[in-house]
Chains A and B, each alone.
Chain A
Amino acid sequence: MAQITLIEAVTQALAWEMKHDPSVVVLGEDVGVNGGVFRATVGLQQKFGPERVIDTPLDETTIAGLTVGMAAQGMKPVAEAQFEGFIYPMMEHIACHAARMRTRTRGRLHVPAVYRAPWGGGIRAPEHHSEANEHLFTNIPGLRVVMPSSPARAYGLLLAAIRDPDPVMFFEPKRIYRQYKEEVPDDGEALPLDVCFVLRDGQDITLVTWGAQVKETLEAADALAQEGISAEVIDLATIKPLDFDTIAESVAKTHRCVIVHEAPYTAGFGAEVAARLAEHSMYDLHAPVARVTGYDTHIPLFRLEMKYLPSVQRIVEAAKRTLAV
Chain B
Amino acid sequence: MSICASFEIEHRQFLDADGKLRANAPELARDFPQLIALYKQMLMVRVFDAKSVALQRTGKLGTYASCLGHEAVHVGIGSAMRPEDCFAPSYREYGAQFCRGVQPREVLMYWGGDERGNDYSGPRHDFAWCVPIATQCLHAAGAALAYKLRKEPRAAVCTVGDGGSSKADFYGAINVTGAMTLPLVAVIINNQWAISVPRKAQTGAQTLAQKGIAAGLPCVQVDGNDLIAVRSAMDTALQRARKGEGGSVIEAVTYRLSDHTTADDARRYRDDAEVKAAWAREPMKRLRAYLEAHKHWDDKQEEAWKAECAAHVDAEVNAYLESKAQPLTAMFDYTYAELPLDLARQREAALAREQAH
Contacts and interface: CB of A to CB of B under 8 A. Distances in A.
A102 B335 contact: yes
A292 interface: no
A264 B34 CA distance: 63
Nearest to B171: A59
B116 A69 contact: no
B149 A96 contact: no
Contacts of A25: 149
Given A62-B172, A101-B128, A69 B146 contact: yes
Contacts of B125: 72-73, 109
B143 A65 contact: no
Interface in A61-76: 61-62, 64-75
A137 interface: no
Given A69-B141, A242-B342, A104 B115 contact: yes
Size bracket of the B interface: 35 or more
B139 A105 contact: no
B164 to A, nearest CB: 13
B119 interface: yes
A97 B139 contact: yes
Interface-centre pick from A57, A64, A70 (highest chain B CB count, 10 A): A70
Interface in B279-300: none
Interface string A115-154: 0000000000000000000000000011000000000000
Contact of A110 (B127, B142, B337): B337
B341 A194 contact: yes
Contacts of A56: 176
Does more than half of chain B's interface fall in helix, strand or loop, or is it mixed?
helix
B127 to A, nearest CB: 7
A165 interface: yes
Given A57-B176, A75-B146, A104 B141 contact: no
Interface in B118-157: 118-120, 124-125, 127-128, 132, 135, 137-147, 149, 156
Contacts of A104: 115, 118, 128
A74 B146 contact: yes
A303 interface: no
Nearest to B345: A244
A203 interface: no
B319 interface: no
Given A51-B149, A57-B172, A65 B124 contact: no
Interface of B: 86, 88, 115-116, 118-120, 124-125, 127-128, 132, 135, 137-147, 149, 156, 168-169, 172-173, 175-176, 179, 330-331, 334-337, 340-343
Given A72-B139, A104-B118, A243-B341, 20 more contacts: A25-B149, A51-B149, A52-B149, A57-B175, A57-B176, A59-B175, A62-B172, A62-B176, A66-B138, A66-B176, A69-B143, A70-B143, A73-B143, A77-B142, A101-B128, A106-B334, A109-B125, A141-B335, A166-B336, A241-B340
